[in-house]
Structure 1
């Protein structure tokens, strides 16, 4: 199975790295917004994409183009993300292309699921929270990754 694991910088990236043991025996390709992160996944292929947020609509469009291009060229079986913008775009594009998709909301979202996580509910095959009290019929809790 070929897994595309995608996350933005900071805590999202750290939490994605904590999921690496779950990917054992699989081909994993990592994607993030900082080229220097390739050093943390030396044993895997790594691709850097431009950073963007909802405050920069044009950059989001460019990021979506870059993510779509990667997904089309790499042909993963599943897209997994811990957020935020690049992960959400990966989930959306992956779903449109018929791929399996998985969203793990950040552990930092203690009070409520993130905005990206709320959107991911409509696209991801599975959405996970890291807090038991945030689980619903559409959002699963199976523990935390930190």
Structure 2
């Protein structure tokens, strides 16, 4: 199984890294911002830098969509996992076209309001995970795993 872990640097990247018991024995690659924290955390990992800022930035959305196409065509992951933010959107939509399964984890600090990224990927995500029961009112098909990080 090949895994694509995609997300913004900072907290989103940290959340994905904390899933290490799941991904550590799998073929994998990362897509995140080329920033100091990502370079440090992922120094021994295969990483593709993406364009940022991503939130409400149409130019970088277009650039990241093209980047997603190239990376997904080359890497052919079986599953794409993200906890946000906006860079996940093109990878999830194009990933579905390439036949990948998608797993989205809504961030812990959202108790009763959705993230923009969560709302955008929810309709096409194979497994949508929330960490608060209140979020099931917003995402009825989600699985509540409570505090996973």
List aligned pairs for 1:1-146, cutoff 5 A.
Answer: 1-36=1-36, 37-135=38-136, 136-146=139-149
Report Cα offsets for 1:10-57 as digits up to 9, x if no partner.
211111111121213211211101243132123321111111334321
Q: Structure 2 length as normaliser, TM-score?
A: 0.88
Could you say what secondary structure the match of 1:28 adopts?
A: strand
Measure, in 1, the Cα distance between the counterparts of 2:33 and 2:115.
Answer: 19
Q: Unaligned 5+ residue runs, structure 2?
A: none
Question: Cα distance, 1:8 vs. partner?
Answer: 0.7
SS at match of 1:39: helix
CA distance in 1 between counterparts of 2:48 and 2:126 reads 24
Find the aligned partners of 1:131 and 1:51 in 2 and give their Cα distance.
29
Distance 1:41 1:145, change over 3 A: farther
Q: Which runs of 5+ in 1 are unaligned?
A: none
CA distance in 2, matches of 1:101, 1:25: 19
Distance in 1, matches of 2:11 and 2:40, equals 16
CA–CA distance in 2 between the matches of 1:63 and 1:91? 12
User: C-alpha deviations, 1:44-93, integer Å up to 9, x for none?
Assistant: 21111111334321221111111221111111111111111111221111
- Output the aligned Cα RMSD: 1.6
